[in-house]
Structure 1
Amino acid sequence: MNIAALVLLSIVGFCISLTPLQYKGYKVYRVIPKTFGQLVALRNLESEGLYDFWREVSSLHEGVDVMVPPNLTKYFKNYLENFNLDGQVFIEDVHKLIHKERSNPRAFSPRHDWKRYQTLDELNDWLQSLPALYPGIVETVVGGISYESRKILGVHVSYKSGNKAVFLEGGIHAREWIAPATVTFILNELLTSSDPSVRSVAQSRDWYIFPCINPDGYEYTQIDPDGNRNWGYEWMQGGSNNNSCSDNYAGSAPFSEIESLSLSQYIDSISANLEVYLSFHSYSQLLLIPFGHQGLEVPKNNEELHYIGNKAMNALAKRYGIKYKVGNVPDTIYVASGSSTDWVAANYKIRLVYTFELRDTGKYGFLLPEEQIIPTGQETLDAVVSMIKQIK
């Protein structure tokens, strides 16, 4: 099923977008399974498709975040009671948080200043303005095309020839607004920062930066197979769904969606020079290392990835004390096959491949307030600088 059809399904069914008027009375519960029977019960509830699982069911003693609409609250509580599951309200009012996530009216700030979440048009206008501001250093590039014929727009930053390259991608999940905001923050710092460490890292690599690789979805959430399950390595080998109304629907086949297919072709065209590939998501404060599918496969340099990743997360924590957990995907979050990072790690000799799950750990979840955009960008830049310095 194509993305346009899924968007229609999300309007008439329960696949959701973050439209404020639809979320009065919605709450998010955190449920922690303590027995195998409770774990199975939660997985069965997830498979029903009645609720939006913000955090998927993974393992014993790991919290599961579930958004519950008011008309299903009684059924949900009865279900928990039947299996002796303890569900605590983690977000009392989703409707209020949606308004808080976008607290600053657009008319107050026409500039790209990271005090609010940008629309897709604003984001793309800013990207297209950069070559004129940094001639000979920045060029806009098109990494692919969306189902609705939007460009997957990015930039190539190069201070000198002969550099190895870093690839940054964000926004594959439409409602994770902090990801494009963080990627654009990092890009801006690579161009404007006077910090010697940032300047050294910026000039030591070429940078291919795509803040929003799911433009249709991002546009839709601001006024659905899961693109991160649709890539062609170990597709549908755990943590993916063949239900087209599921949040982790993997598509009808590997690269069935034009976004993942066209972007993969662009990545292939520049792969010979790639040294680092970083994907940005939210939420949970994790640094994830391939691979995500069922089984025990890990990258050949798994030990190095843990070492560099842990040092980078120590650097991230120094600024605001925010703690991240580092590990391979199944051990750290849950089985999730068919991701962009797995595909890149399996197909190319790229030294560092990571997925960031950005702030927070669930207080706001996908609805991170705008005042946290800049702090998130700052600490994440610290981590990226640490990574590049370690492999220099």
Structure 2
Amino acid sequence: MRGYINAFDVVVVFSILSLALALDHQPLEDPTLDPHHQSAKSYSGYKVIRADVPLAQVPMIEALEESLDVEVTARIPKGRMLTIDVLAAPEAESKVLQVLKYFDMEYEEIIHDLQDMIQEEIYEEIENFDLRSQHQMTWDNYHSFEVMHKYLQYLEEQYPHLITLIEIGKSSENRSLVVAQVSSGTNQPAIWIDGGLHAREWVSPTTALYIIRQLVEKYEQNEAMVTMFDWYILPIANPDGYEYTRHYDRMWRKTRSKHFGENSRCVGVDPNRNFEFKWLQGGSSSYPCSDVYAGPYASSEPETVAISEFLMERKDQLMVYLSFHSYTQVWLMPWAYISDLPKNLHDLEEVANASATAMKKHNNTEFTVGTVTKLMYKASGSSVDYAYGPVGIPFAYAIELRDLGQYGFLLPKNQILPTAVETFDGMKVLAREVYKKLPKYRKHSSSNAELITSEETTELGTASDETSPS
């Protein structure tokens, strides 16, 4: 395998891409496109190819994304190599293989036909549900935004002393951005969790909702977690994109904002490149059709504005920021825009490693801990950098949940609950470990700190015993 790049390599790759580049420069407006009458996008013939790539050659592969119907959907660290998953359209497959073969890279096809997997995954919305039930939420299926929202409303009605719903804004398509505040009412240091920032990562909203469920419906078992911290949880940070994946394009990643008119070919912004910190300084794109389009300007999206303002308003209370994503099973720390290490790296690693160890107990699911730039890629304008930088939250992480690529974004329904359970195990330990470090990061410890005994904090580290949804 060739581990270097010379000028001739660049010429070869450029020649492979030249035709695609010429075809790529199309107008953003398409007067024949009616966005209100769409059919679902088919991924028939799309393949996912996994390749082991020397770090020096990663830019060559990433160049394919700008010119072909190709996306690098995952980057998995492997020593001095990077294992990447490349989603390739039928017409792009041969060009991708040309580049891989030219550089003598090892590769394999891990998904032969993406549409076949999508067909297997298609949800069955419950129609004849028990009318006596006040919600339809379960953890053996992927549910609509409406079902998840109604579940939150149900919890607030049943447990008003524990949970309060806060609408922090509206999406581009006027869906509510609702944060669940779980609190004992004593204004403790706080933990923030968001899910679904990227639309196609379906397991992240369900996992965030499961954590709310455990804190509220299973409060007696998890009282210490709510006594030590207030929890602010936004299960679906990109509801428009999420609903779009359910009906039109399962692999959609971005928001659904229309900055170039109703008939634009290029819709939406990557919300995780749109935060107002080091915006568009690498690892993002200014091209509106790109999946990592950073937006016409920082904080152009109502979703990122709502999150940013909420975090900033509570900057003195927030101690932890967590953003759930999928996939690759990595626990990521700042920085994302630069390879510099965070100033409190040791504490960040201690908490992450302890939490990742807890997440392994149930199903032996292993997570790798490291900075975003070390384990994945550069990504400016990210939520984790915004939380850690301008807001000043000392423990800021992005967690890529299951799996390692066998199913990728199309994680089967039978893995929803195991993913949620192991993640909650990690949250127990995270709460305990951060709580122990509070005196170092706060001038005054919480007023009721003496209520939490060492026995109770030890109990936080025990694994959940739940094995089935309810």
TM-score above 0.5, yes or no: yes
Would you say the 8 A contact 2:62–2:72 is kept in 1? Answer: no
Deviation at 1:335, TM superposition (A): 1.0
Match of 1:280 in 2: 324
Answer yes or no: is 1:50 the counterpart of 2:69.
yes
Q: In the alignment, which of 310, 335, 340 is matched to residue 383 of structure 2? A: 340
Q: In the alignment, which of 181, 200, 203 is matched to residue 224 of structure 2? A: 200
Distance 1:357 1:136 in 2: 32
Q: Which amino acid aligns with 2:294?
A: A
Give the 3-state SS of the residue equivalent to 2:45 in structure 1.
Answer: coil
Distance 2:170 2:66 in 1: 32
Deviation at 1:390, TM superposition (A): 1.2
Moved more, 131-140 or 262-271: 262-271
Deviation at 1:34, TM superposition (A): 3.5
Deviation at 1:231, TM superposition (A): 0.4
Distance 1:276 1:34 in 2: 34
Distance 1:386 1:262 in 2: 29
List aligned pairs for 1:247-262, cutoff 5 A. 247-262=291-306
Answer yes or no: is 1:230 the counterpart of 2:255.
no
Q: Describe the shift of the 1:30–1:329 C-alpha distance in structure 2 as closer, same or farther (beyond 3 A).
A: same
Would you say the 8 A contact 1:18–1:221 is kept in 2? Answer: no
Match of 1:25 in 2: 45
Q: Which amino acid aligns with 2:137?
A: H
Would you say the 8 A contact 2:123–2:142 is kept in 1? Answer: no
Distance 1:111 1:8 in 2: 41
Q: Which amino acid aligns with 1:42?
A: I
Cα deviations across residues 156-214 of structure 1 (Å, max 9, x unaligned)? 11113131111110111000011101000111011122674x33113321111100111
Match of 2:101 in 1: 81
List aligned pairs for 1:320-339, cutoff 5 A. 320-339=363-382
Compute the RMSD of aligned alpha carbons: 2.4
List gaps (5 residues or longer) in structure 1. 1-6
Distance 1:206 1:264 in 2: 18
Match of 2:414 in 1: 371
Would you say the 8 A contact 2:71–2:87 is kept in 1? Answer: yes
Distance 2:399 2:128 in 1: 31
Q: Whose Rg is larger?
A: 2
Q: Which amino acid aligns with 1:99?
A: Q
Distance 2:297 2:280 in 1: 9
List aligned pairs for 1:139-158, cutoff 5 A. 139-158=164-183
Q: Describe the shift of the 1:365–1:267 C-alpha distance in structure 2 as closer, same or farther (beyond 3 A).
A: same
Match of 2:359 in 1: 316
List gaps (5 residues or longer) in structure 2. 1-27, 130-134, 248-267, 436-470
Report the TM-score when normalising by structure 1.
0.89
Match of 2:403 in 1: 360
Would you say the 8 A contact 2:75–2:82 is kept in 1? Answer: no
Distance 2:322 2:345 in 1: 16
Answer yes or no: is 1:112 the counterpart of 2:141.
no
Q: Describe the shift of the 1:105–1:124 C-alpha distance in structure 2 as closer, same or farther (beyond 3 A).
A: closer
Report the TM-score when normalising by structure 2.
0.75
Answer yes or no: is 1:41 the counterpart of 2:60.
yes
Distance 1:94 1:268 in 2: 40
Would you say the 8 A contact 2:339–2:374 is kept in 1? Answer: no
Higher relative contact order (CA 8 A, sep 6+): 1
Give the 3-state SS of the residue equivalent to 1:32 in structure 2.
Answer: strand
Give the 3-state SS of the residue equivalent to 2:232 in structure 1.
Answer: strand
Distance 1:96 1:270 in 2: 45
Deviation at 1:49, TM superposition (A): 4.1
Q: Describe the shift of the 1:58–1:311 C-alpha distance in structure 2 as closer, same or farther (beyond 3 A).
A: closer
Would you say the 8 A contact 1:236–1:250 is kept in 2? Answer: yes
List aligned pairs for 1:271-310, cutoff 5 A. 271-296=315-340, 298-310=341-353
Would you say the 8 A contact 2:162–2:216 is kept in 1? Answer: no
Moved more, 155-164 or 44-53: 44-53
Structure 1 segments (4+ residues) deviating >6 Å: none
Answer yes or no: is 1:218 the counterpart of 2:237.
no
Deviation at 1:229, TM superposition (A): 0.5
Distance 2:278 2:213 in 1: 35
Would you say the 8 A contact 1:191–1:202 is kept in 2? Answer: no
Q: Which amino acid aligns with 1:286?
A: V
Per residue, is there more helix in 1 or in 2?
A: 1
Give the 3-state SS of the residue equivalent to 1:22 in structure 2.
Answer: coil
Q: Describe the shift of the 1:339–1:234 C-alpha distance in structure 2 as closer, same or farther (beyond 3 A).
A: same
Match of 2:446 in 1: none
Q: Which amino acid aligns with 1:391?
A: V
Give the 3-state SS of the residue equivalent to 2:369 in structure 1.
Answer: strand
Q: In the alignment, which of 269, 275, 285 is matched to residue 313 of structure 2? A: 269
Pairs aligned (count): 377
Would you say the 8 A contact 1:102–1:116 is kept in 2? Answer: no
Deviation at 1:315, TM superposition (A): 0.6
